[in-house]
Structure 1
Amino acid sequence: VCRLSPADHDAGVGARPELLASVGRPVDGVEAEVRDERGAVVAAGLTGEVWTRSAAMMSGYWGRPGMTAEVLREGWLRTGDLGHFDGDGYLYLDDRAVDVVMVDGDNVYCVPVEAALARHPAVAQAAVVGRHSDLTGEEVCAFLVPAVGCGPSPEVAGEACDLVERALARAHRPTAVFWVAEVPLTARGKPDKRRLRERAAAAAEAGGGRA
């Protein structure tokens, strides 16, 4: 869909390091747009769902017309990825639509929260999901893997959450933290957010995991 060229990498290392966080510009023959929940194209800098259109698109899910109708709209494919374009047409992926946590009406994207948590030297890996909250609709839950030589620590959890609040906003701060030996992975090697959401929900019923 997109390509970040060698020239873009050179520019990123030099005057525009932010380019290295981009997935590049749409390649020839591919159209890409960022749209809001109503399907309207949003301005550069605003986050929405990435829609694409090209001759290489799938025709649909085999035997699943309902899923096909959900993602294919008037010749466009809804990717389920959330992202934004900058003023020069570079696309940045912010999160997956299913991973957004709604806290008091604010969209909290998990990827930036995970990055902020992992900046703490005692945190080797962080995975973030949402769960139901009677107070805010949803709340942010963090699963932290301790760095080598470090153990689970309430003090470290608090410091890592402080990093999130300083880098992002109060609504992004995890209100529940779980220390784990490792983050469960899907068959594709990605964090299994479904299992983490189930674990966070079960902990809420048991009254555990408060930060």
Structure 2
Amino acid sequence: MRNEMMYRPVLKDEIIDLIRYRQPEMSGKVGEIQQEAKETGVPVIPNETATFLRFFLKQIKAKNVLEVGTAIGFSASLMIDAMGPDSHVTTIDRFDVMIRRAKKTFEKLGIEDQVTLLEGDAKDILGTLDGPFDFIFMDSAKSKYIEFLPDCLRLVKEGGVIMIDDVFQAGTVMHDIKDIPKSQRTIYRKLNKLYDAVLGHDDLSVTILPLGDGVLMISKEVEEVNLIVD
């Protein structure tokens, strides 16, 4: 379950120490979930990404969030904590072991009424959902991001933001494909298709942040976006 790419950072070690370890970790019950994940090796978002996510949601005053990739429920719990008691997260996961652990997390934090956990494959579920969502957080299979993006663009509100985690592959997305192990080439191709589809798109505002193994931020500038995916 360990995400090896998180342990091959693009940034210098001293910068990682600053943004990951000098920034305080989460407090309270959310902090307990974060600590549990560290101790058991569950690959949740690193502290610098968690800190940014909490900060960002407060700034945009988000209240209704869609998450693709629940894991043990840490990110969803963090987002509820950041947004407050009148907020809601709809989250999707297909792995039974994660679904069971996430349900225990939500029960422990007493936020079951603020979270809708949809069980199944996101590619089947996303098309059935209605928006708009203020914010969408994608943290799932990296090779599927480009497939999920059209529905996520449909579901996020105009001016809303989609945050996509783990888009660097430890910097290897910029390497020549001949240098990529064959087992990683599907992810490599799909991540580069994602970049090709959004960078420079007239109806999207996009930025890339060196948090964790890379974060791609996409804001929809018009109500309907025509996304070309080869």
If the length of structure 2 is used for normalisation, what is the TM-score?
Answer: 0.29
Higher strand share: 1
Task: Specify the structure having the higher radius of gyration (Cα).
Answer: 1
